[in-house]
Amino acid sequence: MSKFTLEVDYDFDFILIGISCHEKDYRISWAIREKLGIDLCRGEDIVISSKKGSKSDAYAVFEQISEENESGIFLVSNRSGSSLLVPEHRSADYFIIARGGYDEENKEEMLLGLRGISFVLTAFAIDPVSLKSKQNLIF
């Protein structure tokens, strides 16, 4: 019997920004709304099961989705208990993912606005293709 291998090529064409901040997720969501005008609503959590299958980790997601221009902005928590969604960026507490009609100028505006929030320690751009755990950001 023949053996077939399925290879999946994901599209990592989105803006990814890491945020270091010690506030709760609802607090940073509110601050982003006030500073950037992005109205984020609580979405469905990202649930990742461990390889052993005994434990699942849930990562909070806040989202603003625009159906008309097929774009969306997501605020995703990097921490769930003691595990990380993207272990390569331990210093990031949250990620902003912007899909659709966002370009380099939008990314710079977001970075500038995020850095202007008083309790955000830092905000930095990340190249999603360079991450080992980039598949965790596809949802």
pLDDT digits 0-9 by tens, 21-71: 999 999 999 999 999 998 999 999 888 876 665 678 889 999 998 877 778
pLDDT of residue 66: 82
The CB-based long-range contact list for 111-115 (8 Å cut-off, 24+ gap) reads 111/17, 113/32, 113/35, 113/36, 114/17, 114/19, 114/32, 114/35, 114/36
Residue pair 50/82 in contact (Cβ under 8 Å)? The answer is: no
pLDDT of residue 6: 62
Three-state SS for 35? helix
Mean pLDDT over residues 68-79, rounded?
88
Residue 10 pLDDT greater than 80, yes or no: no
> How far apart are the C-alpha atoms of 120 and 50, rounded to whole Å?
30
What is residue 121's predicted lDDT score, i.e. its pLDDT?
Answer: 94
Question: How far is Cα 61 from Cα 41, in angstroms, rounded to an integer?
Answer: 8
Of 61, 64, 79, nearest to 139 by C-alpha is 61
User: Would the pLDDT of 131 be above 70?
Assistant: yes
| Residue 47 contacts residue 58 (beta carbons within 8 Å) | yes
Whether the per-residue pLDDT at 1 is higher than 60: the answer is yes
Residues 90-119, mean pLDDT to the nearest whole number: 91
11 pLDDT more than 80: no
Helices within 25-134 (DSSP H only) = 25-36, 104-115
Cβ(18)–Cβ(89) under 8 Å?
A: yes
Residue 109: its pLDDT value, please?
Answer: 92
| Cα Rg, the chain, nearest whole Å | 16
| Domains (range + CATH), the chain | 14-127 (3.30.70)
Q: pLDDT band for position 78 (50/70/90)?
A: very high
